[in-house]
């Protein structure tokens, strides 16, 4: 473990639109994502292949700038629970002085939002807060390459719940 001081970092802007019905929240972008200014930029992160399989659109095959509008067209947005923190490296366990994003405007900016999914346990620690605000919540296995205990197929099976309809409130948002 390094004794180097943690680096102060700012997260990425949300990828949201009024039409999104699903919001995927990670914890905080990894070093590769921050360097590229792109969500899930690490080449071994499985988010884009998972979303490709779930939507039937080859999101992973498109350049990043084209992925985002295509993702939004599937009513799915991206953001992180943390907007700033101090951290060395990319591991969630190294996060210090975490500052949560301001989620107060989600209802106003995303009136169709019904389901908030958390990409891993760290972000999933915010699930109760979103459930209390009336959102359906779902904590999913992390798409991170650091979470290698599950195969892609096992993760995909769990992630399929992300796009399953869920009752009258879900259908009303269509």
Write out the catalytic residue numbers: 45
In Å, how far are 140, 145, 161 from 63, measured between CA atoms? 25, 21, 26
Burial class of residue 13 in the structure, from the number of CB atoms within 10 Å of its CB (0-12 exposed, 13-18 middle, 19+ buried):
exposed
The stretches of 96-162 forming alpha helices (DSSP H) are 106-109, 121-124, 127-132, 152-159
Rg (CA), the chain: 16
Residue 103: how many CB atoms within 10 A of its CB? 19
């Amino acid at each position: 473990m390094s004794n180097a001081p943690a680096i102060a970092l700012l997260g990425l802007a949300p990828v949201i639109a009024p039409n999104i019905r699903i919001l995927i929240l990670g914890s905080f972008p990894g070093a590769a994502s921050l360097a590229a200014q792109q969500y899930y930029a690490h080449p071994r992160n499985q988010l884009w292949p998972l979303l490709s399989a779930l939507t039937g659109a080859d999101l992973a095959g498109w350049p990043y700038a084209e992925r985002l509008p295509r993702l939004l067209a599937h009513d799915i947005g991206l953001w992180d629970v943390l907007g700033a923190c101090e951290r060395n490296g990319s591991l969630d366990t190294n996060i210090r002085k975490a500052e949560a994003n301001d989620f107060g405007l989600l209802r106003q900016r995303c009136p169709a939002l019904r389901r908030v999914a958390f990409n891993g346990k760290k972000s999933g620690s915010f699930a109760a807060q979103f459930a209390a605000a009336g959102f359906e919540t779902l904590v999913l296995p992390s798409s991170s390459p650091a979470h290698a205990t599950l195969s892609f197929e096992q993760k995909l099976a769990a992630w399929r719940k992300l796009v399953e309809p869920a009752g009258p409130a879900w259908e009303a948002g269509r």
